[in-house]
Structure 1
Amino acid sequence: MNSNDLKMVAEALSMQQSWQVGKVLDRKYELTRPLSSKPVANAYLATEIETGESVVLRRCPPGAERGSLEREWEALEACKGDSVQEALSLYPASGFLSVMFYPNATPLIDLSPEQVDAFPILLPKILKAVSHCHKAGWIHGDIKPSNVLWDHDTNAIRLIDFGAAMPIGLSRKHLGSWHASVGFSSEAQTAGEGTAHPSDDWFALIRWIRQLDKVDVSEMSRHNLNRTLEWLGTQM
């Protein structure tokens, strides 16, 4: 284990101890529960003490470079819209930001087998949301089922977790660290090579759709998925 690995382990242990359920941050938020199963979660559900309302607090993962939290905030502000999780406040001195919590929405990774046919119906909205970010000058950088929320009542979707977002054209060459999800990232993105490009997000979406190749969906749904794959292929 090299010095960088040791540094990340130490930082992870420190983060694990600093954010625990029941802890009060900035005298304003009480942590309620982690929003991932990772040993060191970088997103927590919290209660705003003054109002009693629930919000999501996000912090940088272990090993993140200086300024990554501010970049995430900048991405959320630039890409704001109906299909993007709403940014609330940035707390740079304390190392976290707050974003809107949607109690009636669930990540698409939690789709039950009975709900799988909903994905092709939601897919055009996901394409529109990702394109919206690209038009704003940013890639999301981590498109996958756990980062798209679905509101069952309204059928609305929202992109969440902009921790890997980057301005289009930004070179990864000089970054101290970057984020890539195994199975949803190209070789270049995983290796930290090249520049941030819309094709990074389309590559991830193609991988997502390909995961459904062996899933039993209706003939119409399969047709829609294949048409989407054809279009995505032209964007690479």
Structure 2
Amino acid sequence: MRNSPGTGPARAAIELRIQTKFSAAPGPPFPALGSLSLCPPGPCPWPAPGPAHGPLRGCPVPVPVRGRPAVVSPPPGSGWKAQEALQQRYKLGPLLGRGGFGSVFAATRLLDGAPVAIKCVPRDRVRLWGELPDGTRAPLEIVLLDRVSSGCAAVIQLLEWLELPDSFVLVLERPERCQDLSHLLAERRFLPEEEARGLFRQLLEAVQHCTSCGVLHRDIKPENILLDLATEQLKLIDFGCGAFLQDTAYTQFAGTLSYSPPEWIHQQCYHGQAATIWSLGLLLYQLVIGKHPFMRGQQMIWGRILFPRRLSQECQDIIKRCLSMQPLDRPSLEDLFRDPWMQGVHLP
């Protein structure tokens, strides 16, 4: 088997659509990675040998995500050998959670002791497919991650992926001490402007990187943003709702409905960049206020945005612009980088 790329310590991240929480002890809680509805779990990628598990069907072959990926057909009867080889490659840890697109496990890469996350996606859960640069057909999430997972520290890195007969396995970088922003806000209620500004600047850089790679995330929200508690490095995760960026309108929704822009609610269509700015405005409001500006229980109530007196006028202005009801009135990413409130940001 070929060694996986990125042999340095993994810097951050893991993704999964769940609404549960796994706490590691000692230290801060492991991030709960959120999004849509739950579903039955996918298969465990590497069950421990023994009478409790049947043999692993087929032979999973590691496919480096960078360079020239290739899926090798396994020889008959090689399942146990492949399982043993993978157990020599990674030490599988606890189940972190299950979601609409599979299961995620903590793991350790034995080559260098780097913590990783193992995401197992059942093949029958894959709805969208794409093509890697060498022509290999793969789930769209893998194709999008292949485009964005290098060149920006604020985006999750896909280390490698494997194909099993009935599922796909994604190996992602994972920090040992991190927390998603939803849990951070639950503990602290809201963040000071200075701290929120630094995180927002990192998120803008992540979105700009994705845009330059032709990728639209479509599910920006606190649950899908990790913060390394040691370095204050932010990571945008979970590209399971992502799509290729296009100039024309999207007519199918993917993501979290409470973060959808008003044009989707009223017209059942939206443009990618304008919808992204809307979700960025919602996220910034949550960082500095601690709650969604338009949620009243389970209902979305459009109306005037309320701000506390402690918030600067510059911060209020940038949020109001992002949350303009008319898409054409929202700023571009470049406008946000140039906004007066964004100047003088200290990055980790």
TM-score (normalizing by structure 1)? 0.72
Contact conserved, 2:91 with 2:107, CA < 8 A, in 1?
yes
Match in the other structure for 1:109: 182
**In 2, distance between residues paired with 1:30 and 1:115?**
37
Identify the residue that residue 19 of structure 2 maps to in structure 1: none
Q: Does 1:65 align with 2:127?
A: yes
Aligned to 1:150: 227
- In structure 1, which of residues 142, 158, 180 is the aligned counterpart of residue 255 of structure 2? 180
What is the letter of the counterpart of residue 160 of structure 2?
S
Task: Name the Cα RMSD after superposition.
Answer: 3.8
CA distance in 1, matches of 2:263, 2:97: 26
Q: Say which structure, 1 or 2, has more relative contact order (CA 8 Å, 6+ apart).
A: 2
Q: Is the 8 A contact 2:249 2:272 kept in 1?
A: no
SS of structure 1 residue aligned to 2:241:
coil
The structure-2 alpha-carbon separation of the partners of 1:44 and 1:205, relative to structure 1 and needing over 3 Å to count, comes to: farther
Distance 1:89 1:106 in 2: 23
1:46 aligns with 2:112: no
CA apart distance, 1:88: 0.6
In the TM superposition, 1:62-211 aligns within 5 A as: 63-67=125-129, 70-79=139-148, 80=150, 81-93=152-164, 94-111=167-184, 112-113=187-188, 116-117=191-192, 118-169=195-246, 179-186=254-261, 194=269, 197-211=272-286
Deviates more, 1:224-233 or 1:103-112: 224-233
Report how far residue 119 of structure 1 moved. 2.6
CA contact (8 A) 2:190 2:289 kept: no
Higher helix share: 1
SS of the residue corresponding to residue 13 of structure 1 reads coil
**In the alignment, which residue of structure 2 is the partner of 1:32?**
93
Query: Do the aligned residues in 1 keep the contact of 2:153 with 2:235 (CA within 8 Å)?
Result: yes
Question: Could you tell me how far 1:186 is from its partner in structure 2?
Answer: 3.4
CA change 1:35–1:41 in 2 (3 A) is: farther
Q: CA deviation at 1:145?
A: 0.7
Residue identity opposite 2:216 in structure 1:
I
Q: 1:14 to 1:227 in 2, by over 3 A?
A: closer
Q: CA deviation at 1:23?
A: 2.9
Aligned to 1:19, the other structure's residue is in SS state coil
Aligned to 1:6: none
In the alignment, does 2:318 pair up with 1:228?
yes
CA positional deviation for 1:196: 6.2
Count how many residue pairs are aligned between Structure 1 and Structure 2.
Answer: 219
Identity of aligned residues (%): 19
Cα distance in 2 for partners of 1:194, 1:78 equals 25
Which of 32, 40, 43 is the matching residue for 1:13?
Answer: 40
Q: What's the TM-score once normalised by structure 2's chain length? A: 0.52
AA partner of residue 127 (structure 2): E
C-alpha deviation, 1:55, in angstroms: 0.9
Q: What is the distance in 1 between the residues matched to 2:262 and 2:104? A: 27
Task: For 1:127, give the aligned amino acid.
Answer: L
Q: Is the 8 A contact 1:209 1:225 kept in 2?
A: no
Kept after mapping to 1: 8 A contact 2:44/2:103:
no
| Stretch deviating more after TM superposition (112-121 or 83-92) | 112-121
Change (3 A) 1:199 1:44: farther
Inter-partner Cα distance in structure 1 for 2:331 and 2:94: 39
Higher Rg: 2
23, 47, 50: which one aligns with 2:47: 23
Shift of 1:197: 1.2
Alignment-mate amino acid for residue 226 of structure 1: Q
